[in-house]
A and B are shown apart, each in its own frame.
Chain A
């Protein structure tokens, strides 16, 4: 059997410290290296350059009549574009926002009152709410209704009733002309 009697008491002071220092340095280097090596293997699962490059969508909204909606795909998600009627706009603006679960004025959610543009993904657990077709169920507030667990959204896409915690998000968008919108 080899001699492993390096007990701390018997160790020759400075020699023992030097040895510990060496072991710790090597160990620390190994740990740092292993950690750094993990990063590429984690980061590869983030969106790749081609996916990021496709993150804008241009939409021609000319064919959308008042009261109608269209759904377009942006980053793989549905985006709701609704051309609201005057009645809908008024309904959205005629309430006291302090009573809302997620208080936000309708004015802050649109660039042009006519056009309401939303990411059509329920903020509860990600279903796509109903209400895009005029024949769809639109919930108690005339906006959208998520059938998965019963969330009601109003004509500004704000959560009014049900388990969803937040309003339907408004994506970044820009009107390139009166009839074209770039989303993203």
Chain B
């Protein structure tokens, strides 16, 4: 099987010298090179294994880098994450890679698993290979869960609380286990610390199991779309260059999708609530796990018993371990199993339904559908698969892999596109009840090319400073950041110096007041949260640093809220001290109408209508929440163009390399 180029390589005296002492080149050549025979008919669905490996590497590299800047302490985790987003060089890029990488890891792994199910890749002699894959899935889920806790937002905290509480369902020892997991009596600093440690460790355990997984793979080689074993060398081609180039092409296509999300929709998989710092005293109204856990979450909630719900949830994954024995058919590929093919797609649809239900509140019809879907999930494994093997009449199998001319690269690519298209689902769970959807506005910073309207943003800063800043803090923003919105060095200094900040202790051991400096955070209007509550009838004015990221609807919602004040409609009774706002969830808001016409005097002569001020301050706050937005989109454009060209080149390389097969 040696290709001319590889025999030339192994003839090189330096290579020979090393090989004699450490046969590393022949090891690679046998693992992923010209000496690893691979079925020639693998479709693009077989790319997802190498994609998963690539994502694992991306996650490890970006994760190690993030750990250099992250502080796992309850008082600093959220802020240090924001510091990564704002002040660390390319920190926003690396964090968005890592954050979205988790979602893409699951997308790739789920497709990989469904491919295995469709083509019966788990059947003898690949049961252990499959089982190791399930172990990887479990480790991946644990890692993702702990990683989601680290930024210490509201969803982090409450997700951690709910998931760790699952273990309290265990009879007798449950409560002890939960206390042990927490290192306390609630999710707290000790929990965050250990989750950080374990989140760092587990990817390396995954690497270990991946090695076993690939080892097991190499014993019998890849399965293939036809599902029959290779009959001889005419059915196989060397992994290199055929599949190295095919995997490389697939990887660049994958990176195009990945980059599109990172640069242009980095929060599409996330929950706005996680941009609110963790608050152990208030649970968000709708707590939902990340999209990749939604189906299991639906199963958990489908069963009206704490213990059984937890058992069912874990069983839904553990059942995969025995799948090779539940499926009694001896035909691997669904291509030759006409009935199974139907049940496979029903099963896929069932998982999608479970995911949808997992994002909805557990009430009414959602609950019934969730129960049905849960029942079907288990029935598929425990009833359909065992019986189908006996009743189904498979189509005649071809005599060899080489026999049927495999067409359908186009169909496969289309299916791939559909696969990617499907993943968006579940990203947008229930919106706030009791308030209409805020009307969409046109924002200068919308879209792929959008940038902040600089004049509006500066006016917005004035509105914040003169109006909102009286009650609302902007803790994640520093005065020096104002240079980015067009203030000169001296203007920034003057703005900073206009406030007195507490510093110290001085040599006498006392705190003292000094004028602010550019390196100071925006001064908060109140010394602490309690003072803020006391000054506002008990209602805490929220920090505005991340407000457009922390609310569903973002800038549209903020604008709608600022302009949505009116007298209550007839029949609506307001509580003491509350105001009516059409767009506030529940319609009763403690904040009185903040913006009134001509409240500020714009230096550029723009008329200060409520509408104008609302637009301006929203633009400013959108910048405060996403100061990296313009740099992100600019870099995104370059990256996209580069990746498209590279994948086009690789497509032609792949065609060239493959031109002598078929």
Contact = CB atoms under 8 A, between A and B. Distances in A.
Contacts of A44: 65, 68-69, 88-91, 94
A31 to B, nearest CB: 11
A125 interface: no
B572 interface: no
A19 interface: yes
Contact of B89 (A6, A30, A40): A40
Contacts of A6: 4, 660
Interface stretch (A46-54, A84-92, A94-102, A172-180): A46-54
Interface stretch (A20-28, A109-117, A132-140, A150-158): A20-28
A2 interface: yes
Contacts of B68: 44-45
A151 B518 CA distance: 39
Contacts of B660: 2-4, 6
Nearest to A36: B642
| Main SS at interface, chain B | helix
Interface in B81-97: 83, 86-91, 93-94
Interface in B371-421: none
B405 to A, nearest CB: 15
A14 interface: no
B3 interface: yes
B421 to A, nearest CB: 26
Contacts, number: 80
Contact of A7 (B4, B86, B642, B646): B4
B478 interface: yes
Interface residues of B, number: 38
Q: Interface size bucket, A side?
A: 20 to 34
A26 B646 contact: yes
A1 interface: yes
A76 interface: no
Contacts of A53: 478, 480, 518-519
B649 A4 contact: no
A63 interface: yes
B176 interface: no
B653 A48 contact: no
A54 B83 CA distance: 15
A12 interface: no
B87 A22 contact: no
Nearest to B83: A50
Interface in A31-69: 33, 36, 40-41, 43-46, 48-51, 53-54, 63
A43 B89 CA distance: 6
Contact of A29 (B61, B87, B90, B649): B649
A54 B478 CA distance: 12
Nearest to A55: B519
A29 B83 CA distance: 33
A70 to B, nearest CB: 10
Given A45-B68, A48-B83, 7 more contacts: A3-B660, A7-B4, A26-B649, A40-B94, A44-B89, A49-B86, A53-B478
13 contacts: A2-B660, A2-B661, A7-B4, A22-B653, A23-B656, A29-B645, A29-B646, A40-B90, A44-B89, A48-B69, A49-B86, A50-B83, A53-B478
